[in-house]
Structure 1
Amino acid sequence: MGSLRDYQRKRDFSKTREPAANEIGTAGRRAIFVVQLHHASRRHFDFRLQVGDVLKSWAVPKGPSYDPQVKRLAVEVEDHPVSYAGFEGDIEHGYGKGHVDQFDHGVWTTPGDAETQLQKGHLRFELFGKRLKGGWHLVRSGRKERQPAWFLIKARDAFAGDVEADDLLDAKMARSTRKAAKTPAAQAAAKKSTARKKSIPRAKRLPRLRLAKAAAALHGARPAAPSDGFFKPELARLRESPPEGAQWLHEVKWDGYRILAAIAEGEVKLWSRNALPWNERLPDIVQSLESLGLHSARLDGELVALDARGHSDFNGLQQTLAGEAQLPLVYMLFDLPYLEGSDLSRVGLRERKQLLGNLLAHAPPHLAFSTHTIGNGQEAFRMATDEGLEGIISKRVDSAYHPGRGDDWLKIKRLESDEFAVVGYTPPRGSRSGFGSLLLARPDPQVKSGWIYVGRVGTGFSNEQLQRLGQTIADKGSARPTVKLAAIDPLLRDARWVRPAAVAEVYYRGIGNNNLLRQPSLKTMRTDKTPADLADSDRAGSKPATKSAGAKRRKPAAPKPADIKITHPDRVVFPDDGYTKQDIADYYASVMKWFLPGVVNRPTSVIRCPEGTAKACFFQKHLIPGLKHVGSVKLKEESGAQATYIYPLDAASVLELVQFGALEFHPWGSTVGQPELADRVVFDLDPGDDVAWPRVVAAARLMRRLLAQLGLESFLRTTGGKGLHVVVPLNPGCAWPQVKDFAHAFAATVAQAHPLEFIATAAKAQRSGRIYVDYLRNSRGATSVASYSLRARSGAPVAVPLRWSELGKLKSGHDFDIRSTPTRLARLRSDPWAGIDGVQQELGDIIGKLR
């Protein structure tokens, strides 16, 4: 998300103990903040917020103030690595010489995208530290300064008060301040921090004794000792339709993580439903519960991130917990089985919820009451469906709180339905006849007449349907799949695959891992449609609308590119050339039909330059708040954790990313439907500074000839930089480890055979006079620039596919730019890469030949 170039340039890491880069892993952790007291030539506080993989940093000379009327100058400095948050001690030489103490640290949140807010000059955020709490603002100053100047201002909330940073120094920091105090101002600050002590303002506490009496007076309440240990939650059974009658209440089914809170002697402990401790991951929720001032309690609820409409956003929740976003989290509470010495598990649910509502009447915003309606379950479910919510939870109004799954709590999920082609079947098992399940697929938008497997459906069939369909498909098909498979499924070992011949409409409960349908069940066989109807509809851009059971409203039509508003169209993005943000949008719109095939349905990293190429640019590969028209998919990273990656769906996706500042697009060599199978191998010919262009041309021709000797057809592309890409398509695709081994072996073979021309190691010191065959783009998660993508370089060059016959006319790898590329495409009669998706070739035993 940021650049450490300036940070590293200003330091000599052979002399400083400061971390050179992110030396500790940060994946899977909440976004943090840290404030450090720095006794440099001028004493100041360093205020740092994690945005992506860097700490955005400001020097605050007088430190933060809790007074909302005080505007503290905050001078923006270079980004720091996230591992800098743990740094304390002396900087002994050079830049920043002096002593560093940690003043405070914790997690932080903000509604919306942090980068976008910073770009606009006003960041609203909330801190959850030991010393700094509540809402804050960073507002860019209008003054012209050598370094960007901001103001750090406390929000008007329950924590606001007459407290300064120096009032909160502990003994260790006060000693450091006295030791470093040399100037009169520093001596005055040291004296003040010793003489004047104030505590952090606290929110108004609830009348605990009154609540305790109300709890003890409820019918069924029993005295019981408090405990901060895990307690087993009550669970709901899945039902197809909601129950009717006034004996049932209905709540929204929140799409988040179940969290149990136990308080004993004022200490809060959070647990997952599987008894895992969650305090460290949720300091914001812990602080909010502590602010209630309770001595003992047990609370049950769902941890959610809320979108702008107030709906739970599960992707946003996952991204925030993984440090990829900073959305505010809310603990949506729906039960209170214990309070202040009283076991309420035998009290009726309606009374428990009424007491819970009183408890939360003046709670901080991170604690919310899950409201309900009583009776009329069908109407409650219809409203939830119309709003696009996950469903409802129905509960008996007079029920006790029982651990485990029972019939007092029922969950009714919104069902979606869509139409899919039948592409095979599994054999029947046990007493079942005909078949076990039907195999389903959707049209592949990248391959004409191609299909992508989406799962299998084995429930919802009548006996008549089983018999009739079984007779139709029995003993037909082959063991070889006729569609793309996202992953190997052992349950498909005995499957028989057929050409798409029928259409099934299927209910399902969302999309799961590997983009497969969750809990599908047959709605009906669409005898009025053929697979060709689905394929034609998909190619026309009007994929059948996903339908919700019980819903009367249709989903809105997909946005047109014209619907994407480009804000600040006159902002200059390429300062040396004068190209604006609108020029970028116009370029991508003009080349869209050529550009889309290389990025659609591929996990794609973009390079964003929100303030132009002269300022910080950064990679973006994960979903961020605010993106509405871009696809997202959960993929495993090297660490084993899952992350949500973005990918373009259509022209609107591309222009939305341009609106967010994207200039360059770098897709994977595989699709979201088959992330483990590569369908491209890319060799980047990167010449040393002293290599003449004709040698690069000759090198590309040699690469083509050597690949042809192995039986592999290849294609050519300029990079928009110094070199060329030689691209090898794979169809039906190969596993990433095999592709990586092949690319490495081929590059090494070329370098060994022609040592004066090529090198296959990345060391720049050894590249002089030679061409580096970069094979490192051929591993899972690696990317290479897309065809027709702009490059964030002077002149706005473009990566352009070529015919091999055009190679001799090139003068450099950046011959084409934002102006000449659309002109070239307007003159072309056919695609230079025509037929690349139809090339049938794979690596097979080629690696063995190379070795």
Structure 2
Amino acid sequence: MSLKAYNKKRDFSKTPEPSGNAGDSPNSVHRFVVQRHKARKLHYDLRLEINGTLKSWAVPKGPSMNPADKRLAVRTEDHPLEYLHFHGTIPKGNYGAGTMTIWDSGSFDIDGAEDNPGLLPQFRKGNMKLILSGQKLKGRFALVRTGERSGKESWLLIKKNDGFATDLFYDAETLIEPSQKSSKEPPGKIAPGKIVPPMLAGSAKEIFNNPKWIYELKWDGYRIVAHISGDGVLLQSRNGITMNQNFPELAKELESVGHETIMDGELTVLDENGVSQFGELQNWPDTRGTLRYYVFDMLYLNGHSMLDLPLLDRKSLIQEVIEGLRTAHYCDHVEGMGAALFERAVEEGMEGVMAKAGDSNYVPGARTEKWLKIKNVESEDALICGYTDSVGGGVAFGSLILGKREEDGLKYVGNCGSGFGEADRKVLLKRFAPFRTKKNPFGKKLALKGRKPNWMLPNLECEVHYSERTKNGLLRNPVFKRLRKAPEVPRNAPSPSPKPTGNDARETLDIDGLPVTISNLNKVYWPDSGYTKYDLIDYYLQVSDILVPYLKDRPESLHRHPNGIMEEGFYQKDNENVPEWMQTATIYSKSSERDINYLLCQNTASLIYMANLGCIEIHPWNSKTDNLDRPDYGIIDLDPPEGTDFKKVIESALAVHQVLNEGKIEGYCKTSGAKGLHVYLPMNGEYTYEEVRNFTKLICYFVQRRIPELTTMERRIKDRNGKIYLDYLQNRKGHTVVSPYSVRPVKGAQVSAPLLWSELEDGLLPSDFTLKNMPDRLARKGDLFVPILQEGISMEKALERLDRMSAET
């Protein structure tokens, strides 16, 4: 194997990298290395010893031990075997300049070697099946070529489900290996050092008393999950980022804990009155106040996961574990007396309280209605549209000029001049620099009382607290709390600029480090309401954190309307020319007799890329790429003919709900976003498409027998006689139903909205849910569809109950 390309790119008198010729590799030995390469862009380099050289791939996000992560791997030039041990700094001006460290190394073998053609034939074919034996990477992997982009081969690095795999969040940047003491914990389960997405709370508008609930003071700070083991302490932020360097005193104190544990809590800075001050925490340690870590939950203790224990049992062990610590404190609670604690919190100037069901389990990453936050103050997320100069020039700027997007454009909601110190103002001013513009984003003069404005593109969002609104809709006494797109509370990306210079204007959004080109933002997609492509992209940016989990790892059938809803759209499955960072899945199509290259919507950038193509609605498969033949849910589509009173659709859905209740089957309902309703049954990939289809068909039979005057199972439209079609045939491999929270190409920009069963009553209409009001609904009710991606039903037990129901009738 030649190293010509490698040698040509390097001047070995200026770089410490090894030169060399292709060597000999004994067939019995295959070595690998993964190097963390902090070059112009941080990435990881995977190198495999094959026939005398190191075959090399750049992995932008780093390898993962989670099978759900399909990591893009871009093939680079072969490297010499000496590179197995290389680490150091490549000087500026050289190819690949930057620091390189060895992240993992070890040996590898062919998976299923006894019936395998060999390593080199696998490589040439572009389908490698490997078993890695490293310090971090262990077990079965696949390395699969997916195509070519910009002259470079694109591959996917995929972890296979085995005893070493994990289903937890995995980030090569932050993950610390568990200690030897915790090795008895089964791989893939919770253990100190493995990043744990914290459980999240829903919201409630009013306080309540419930003897089965506990109530804690709500501290305003950083959510920190603390991992303590023989390997040391890891302070993990809500987003999986290591915070040890930010708060070394807490990390040092927790080293004295004599247990292996994972604790969840809130890190805050208290003033002299014991009230948390978020702004002071942001500037720690150059600030006043007392650093305090309030521990309110424990997830793991001395080799045992505690996730399935009731909350009160988990909390009962915290005090003993952190006894005697100065910074870490137990977060106490009261039982049943929510109103009294809330009143006390208000009197002391606190944000409010947390209400939690005493028997609630801990579900990592889930937002649950068993934990609720009840706040005292009014809060608003507002766009920073500019800032005023300081009167007298004493500080970096005077006040923020705030706005909100409404149907008729950007609306001014007031100025905010309090809530930040001088250090905060200087930091914010630096953040504002990339968004400065000479153009007033409101398009009209504001009453700023003589203060000089400095305008900004409304791309940064902040949270402000306020006392009330004026008659003109302005915020009274607003107080700055935090940047919503600051590193501590990351959001997806800047919103697209509101007024492009032309209908074909193009710009690039940086979304989580990925460049996404967007264009034609002024193009009207919904002529009836005047909504544009901008409104579509802005909506998907707002809801992407909730929407993407329903799309990740699922092939996407693109339904494109590049000229809006008044012109015919078209479906597109095959995708060849996509950005280098975009992940795809190649699936053989029997009907087309060829491979189809499907897009995978893995992140916010992918979602916005699709929206820019004119994908108003999002159509994911019911199954994922690692289990394509087994759907994660079954679907009953209640499809009414045109002109049907929606009350009849509701009546049909309630009949479905009744059958499900009698069979003790969990079901979740959403509007289709057009004229019907969808009922989802969680399956968790346990059954084949045929089994799921037959099961939903049986439920449809029960429903049709109960309300034959309203429903039908006739496939031909002309035979339905104006009845609502109970469609179970969507449960077929490759067939798609519009995703929850997807916009639809229909009048009013309606959205497919998950519902509570209690909301199915007279007066409900699909038009109640649009891209303009869905973000507010999500803020109030949270994600109602989470259970469809969690534990599935037992079809066997459900069939037994349905059989008994059939016999009884």
TM range (shorter): 0.3 to 0.5
Higher CA-based Rg: 1
**TM-score normalised by length of structure 2:** 0.41
Name the TM-score, length of structure 1 as normaliser: 0.39
Q: Higher relative contact order at CA 8 Å, sep ≥6: structure 1 or structure 2? A: 1
